[in-house]
Amino acid sequence: MNNKEIVSKLWKLCDVLRDDGITYHQYVTELTYILFLKMSKETGTEDKIPEKYRWDKLVAKKGIELKHFYKELLNYLGDECQGRIREIYQGAISNIDEPKNLEKIITSIDGLDWYSAREEGLGNLYEGLLEKNANEKKSGAGQYFTPRVLINVMTKLVDPKAGEKCNDPACGTFGFMIAADQHIKNNTSDLFDLSTDEQNFQIQQAFTGCELVHDTHRLALMNAMLHNIEGKIYLADTLSTEGKQLKGYDVVLTNPPFGTKKGGERATRDDFTFPTSNKQLNFLQHIYRSLKTTGSARAAVVLPDNVLFADNDGEKIRKDLMEKCNLHTILRLPTGIFYAQGVKTNVLFFSRGKEDKGNTKEVWIYDLRSNMPSFGKTNPLKESDFDDFVKCYCAEDFSKRKQTWSEENPDGRWRKYSYDEIQKRDKTSLDISWIKTGDEVPDCSLNELLEEIKTKTDSIVTSVAKLQELIAEVKE
């Protein structure tokens, strides 16, 4: 049994809890409480759990005794334990009212093929469960889960390296940091060449995050633990004064929440130059201010369209971003790839300069939205959909990027705008589109396109001539 099949079985157990009125998101949280104990046993890491509350003790209980014991277990692990165990279980409350349902879930989990799960990786199994929850519209969890293919592309292009501090200030279930860790492992020739201190840095300090929602914070902690990441994940609001400590990073990868603060209130950060009630504009300010001023610190951030054109504080923040950072690339994403179908989003790629002035010289924009197929459950986004963009982005260096019809500019989706051109636009807007909706976007070279136009024109001329001959015959 592979991890995909195990995830399907775990997800199907949710049907057992419908009579208890438990939501999908509550179910995943409940599963986290139980899976932590089982996975600790499978990985031989039960030593930090009191023997009285380990998996074998839980699975041995039945009926009402199980219900009472489970409640006692949650309280003890959340109040009396230390470290990650306490963080995961703090304030934990079971939503399962019927003892038989609880018993069925525990015995079903115990009976799964855990040997195969360990072989494929328990972290991969848990992420599969989180993705299943995010793809279920009724769960409402899509707002906490960025599509894996987009995470992978952003991570690949930002290219985090061993020894760098990486952060996600709105980390959700910690997907970006998991991807950053895996990217480094895949691209470091021999991790064993790292010193003991360097290896400890990768485990304990390299990857950090911050999450506001308590239940989602639990999922992030569990996800990190299963991927052997021990970096700090704060339960806090990045846009509050607590967020001021989140700074000094080499890499930021994130998809912050969209919308405005409740009641239109402004962020409580007194270090923001342009405080606003717009969450994403405040997150953008936080992100570029949190990067080191070494000249190599960089970020990739998913943001909605209004960040590109909002006036007043929006315009000031865009100008500040382009002064302090080199905003070198904007990827305009297709619609339908997030939980909220109508949301139009972009990825901004930028690097913090050593100085706070004159860092952006030109901005390259790739339009992956206009005249693209509709993405969704029946047509999921694939990494191959980003191949042309990646080819453009990875041109030898930014100064040699092309704007002609060539390999670096497939389908005419890739254009450059100078800083001066952007400054002359109304409100310094970066909301730029040049492909007309409904236009046929060519997938050929300019010569091939001209030849195709000529062929179609000749065909039309021939058809008109035949029509004229037919009309003449009718008149005769």
Task: Judge whether 318 and 422 are in contact, CB under 8 Å.
Answer: no
User: Which CATH topology does 142-428 take?
Assistant: Rossmann fold (3.40.50)
What mean pLDDT do residues 246-263 have? 85
User: Does position 287 have pLDDT exceeding 50, yes or no?
Assistant: yes
366 or 376, greater pLDDT: 366
412 backbone φψ class: left, alpha, beta (φ>0; ψ -120 to 50): left
Residues above pLDDT 70, as percent of the chain: 81
Looking at residue 28, its amino acid is V
DSSP 3-state assignment of 157? helix
Could you read off the pLDDT of 99-125 as tens digits, one per residue? 999 999 899 889 888 877 776 677 787
Angstrom distances, CA of residue 43 to CA of 113, 114, 366: 14, 10, 44
Q: What is the pLDDT, as a whole number, of residue 437?
A: 67
User: Domain-by-domain residue ranges, the chain?
Assistant: 3-132, 142-428, 444-476
Q: Per the structure block, which two tokens stand in for 296?
A: 């190599």
What mean pLDDT do residues 280-288 have? 96
Q: Which of 227, 167, 200 has its CA nearest to residue 191?
A: 200
Angstrom distances, CA of residue 87 to CA of 26, 277, 320, 456: 17, 30, 37, 67
Task: Judge whether 225 and 271 are in contact, CB under 8 Å.
Answer: no
Q: Per the structure block, which two tokens stand in for 445?
A: 């070279």
Could you read off the pLDDT of 430-467 as tens digits, one per residue? 999 888 765 444 433 444 445 555 555 665 666 666 67
Task: Judge whether 301 and 287 are in contact, CB under 8 Å.
Answer: yes
Least confident of 186-200, 302-316, 320-334: 186-200
Q: What is the pLDDT, as a whole number, of residue 458?
A: 60
| N-terminal to C-terminal alpha carbon distance within the chain | 79
DSSP 3-state assignment of 441? coil
User: Does position 43 have pLDDT exceeding 80, yes or no?
Assistant: yes
Q: Per-residue confidence at 406, pLDDT binned at 50, 70, 90?
A: very low
Q: Per the structure block, which two tokens stand in for 253?
A: 């990868």
Architecture of domain 3-132: Up-down Bundle (1.20)
Q: Per-residue confidence at 201, pLDDT binned at 50, 70, 90?
A: very high
Q: Per the structure block, which two tokens stand in for 373?
A: 């197929």
Q: Tell me phi and psi for residue 56, to 5 degrees.
A: -60, -30
Q: What is the pLDDT, as a whole number, of residue 149?
A: 92
Q: What is the pLDDT, as a whole number, of residue 453?
A: 58
pTM over 0.85: no
Q: Per-residue confidence at 475, pLDDT binned at 50, 70, 90?
A: low
Angstrom distances, CA of residue 105 to CA of 32, 99, 108, 136, 269: 12, 10, 5, 20, 44
List residues bridging with 416 in a β-sheet: 364
